[in-house]
């Protein structure tokens, strides 16, 4: 099942650029894939351990800025800068995680929001390095390449990164390490009492998640070419990621990807149709409420449960039968016996 869905995803990624009718649609595809990577990277923490981070936008922002600064200030080649930036963010995730993962539940959510707000202030104020509110221009990795081709290349780069993230998630999902992480999600104290070093596990997976998030952020910097702290360190980014993952289903490998496609496409649509109105915020907020209330496990598990229920109806041992149904059934049986 995961392999079949993976094959479909690979074919879809391979075909999309040639099917996209214009460069705008292709660039929207890049944005949606960026969301898909971010949501999958988030799901390493959110899905396995159940720690809901609203601060992953900040990790992506750090990845973007680190990539941009390594190119502009340290003269590193674009893709070397991208990798080094991801390593740096992963290293920085150790102290961040060390502090944040000490608290659970709502407290962790608040700490993760604080991370975004603190970094927003830092990157806005430290303008001698980051460019502050004027933004940071990141040189294109392929100078002279035309826009549509540029989008196409980045679409495939994002596609590769997404597959790598999915493969890693799948590997962890079936491993003992993953089993320990899921035990943390279920009952952290209990997991600890069975011998799982919960803190080390949480920290490790947070670092892995941060590395993938930073790679997505760095790739975005290379693709978009312009970074602004207001957008890079926005609480909204983390909120969208959480919405996407929850919508698709956090316990499922492809849940966040599906959520990213639905929400990512919707966000682009709202941008085109309604411009700068806050309508997209209202809609996504409403969607989040609906998902949490009616599909807390996300679309994929809800749909599989529905399919299972429909299929099982035939051979279930417990049926809901009215007296009239029962009489009808008996009558049919009698007739069958008589004939």
Partner 1 sequence: MTLKTTGLRKAFGGVVAIDGADVAFQPGKVNALIGPNGSGKTTFFNCVTGMIKPDEGSVHFGDRDLTGRAPHVIARAGVGRTFQLCRTFPRMTAIENVLSAVRPGGLLHGLRSAHRKTEIDRAHHWLTRLGIEHLAGAEARTMSWGQQKLLELAGVLMAEPKTILLDEPAGGVNPALLDRIGTLVRELNAEGRTFVIVEHNMDLVMSISDHIVVFDRGRPIAAGPPAEIRADERVLGAYLGV
> Where along the sequence are the contacts to partner 1 (CB under 8 A)?
171-172, 174-180, 182-183, 186-187, 189-199
- Rg of the chain over all Cα atoms, to the nearest angstrom: 23
Q: What minimum distance in Å lies between the beta carbon of 245 and partner 1?
A: 17
What's the rounded Cα separation, in Å, for the pair 134 and 32?
26
What's the rounded Cα separation, in Å, for the pair 76 and 82?
9
Q: What minimum distance in Å lies between the beta carbon of 121 and partner 1?
A: 35
Q: What is the dihedral of CA 34, 37, 41, 47, to 10 degrees?
A: 110
Q: What minimum distance in Å lies between the beta carbon of 187 and partner 1?
A: 6
Nearer residue to partner 1 within complex by CB, 120 or 250 = 250
Nearer residue to partner 1 within complex by CB, 143 or 195 = 195
Q: What minimum distance in Å lies between the beta carbon of 166 and partner 1?
A: 16
The one-character DSSP state at 53 is -
Structure tokens at 94: 């150790």
Q: What minimum distance in Å lies between the beta carbon of 194 and partner 1?
A: 5
Identify whether the C-beta of residue 249 lies closer than 8 Å to the C-beta of residue 299.
yes
Nearer residue to partner 1 within complex by CB, 19 or 94 = 94
The dihedrals phi and psi of 137, each to the nearest 5 degrees, come to -90, 125
Q: What minimum distance in Å lies between the beta carbon of 188 and partner 1?
A: 10
Identify whether the C-beta of residue 135 lies closer than 8 Å to the C-beta of residue 227.
yes
Nearer residue to partner 1 within complex by CB, 52 or 191 = 191
> How far is Cα of residue 135 from the mean position of the Cα atoms in its chain?
26
Nearer residue to partner 1 within complex by CB, 24 or 170 = 170
Nearer residue to partner 1 within complex by CB, 89 or 183 = 183
Matching residue, tokens 């900040």: 58
Identify whether the C-beta of residue 29 lies closer than 8 Å to the C-beta of residue 20.
yes
């Amino acid at each position: 099942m995961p392999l079949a869905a993976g094959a479909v995803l690979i074919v879809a990624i391979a075909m999309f650029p040639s099917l996209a009718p214009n460069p705008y649609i292709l660039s929207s595809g890049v944005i949606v894939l960026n969301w898909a990577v971010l949501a999958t990277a988030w799901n390493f923490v959110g899905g396995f351990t159940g720690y809901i981070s609203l601060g992953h936008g900040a990790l992506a922002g750090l990845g973007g800025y680190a990539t941009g600064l390594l190119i502009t200030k340290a003269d590193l080649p674009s893709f070397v800068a991208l990798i080094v930036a991801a390593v740096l963010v992963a290293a920085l995730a150790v102290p961040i995680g060390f502090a944040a993962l000490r608290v659970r539940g709502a407290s962790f959510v608040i700490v993760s929001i604080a991370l975004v707000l603190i970094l927003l202030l830092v990157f806005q104020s430290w303008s001698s390095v980051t460019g502050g509110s004027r933004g940071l221009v990141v040189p294109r990795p392929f100078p002279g390449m035309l826009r549509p081709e540029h989008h196409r290349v980045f679409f495939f780069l994002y596609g590769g990164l997404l597959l790598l993230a999915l493969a890693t998630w799948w590997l962890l999902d079936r491993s003992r390490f993953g089993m320990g992480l899921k035990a943390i999600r279920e009952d952290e104290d209990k997991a600890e009492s069975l011998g799982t070093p919960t803190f080390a596990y949480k920290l490790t997976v947070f670092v892995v998640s941060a590395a993938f998030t930073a790679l997505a952020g760095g790739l975005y910097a290379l693709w978009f070419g312009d970074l602004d702290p207001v957008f890079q360190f926005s609480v909204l980014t983390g909120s969208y990621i959480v919405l996407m993952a929850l919508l698709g289903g956090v316990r499922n490998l492809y849940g966040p990807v599906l959520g990213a496609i639905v929400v990512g496409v919707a966000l682009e649509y709202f941008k085109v149709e309604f411009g700068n109105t806050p309508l997209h915020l209202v809609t996504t907020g409403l969607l989040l409420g609906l998902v949490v209330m009616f599909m807390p496990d996300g679309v994929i598990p809800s749909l599989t449960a529905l399919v299972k229920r429909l299929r099982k109806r035939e051979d279930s041992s417990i049926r809901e039968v009215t007296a009239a149904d029962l009489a009808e059934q008996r009558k049919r049986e009698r007739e069958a016996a008589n004939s």
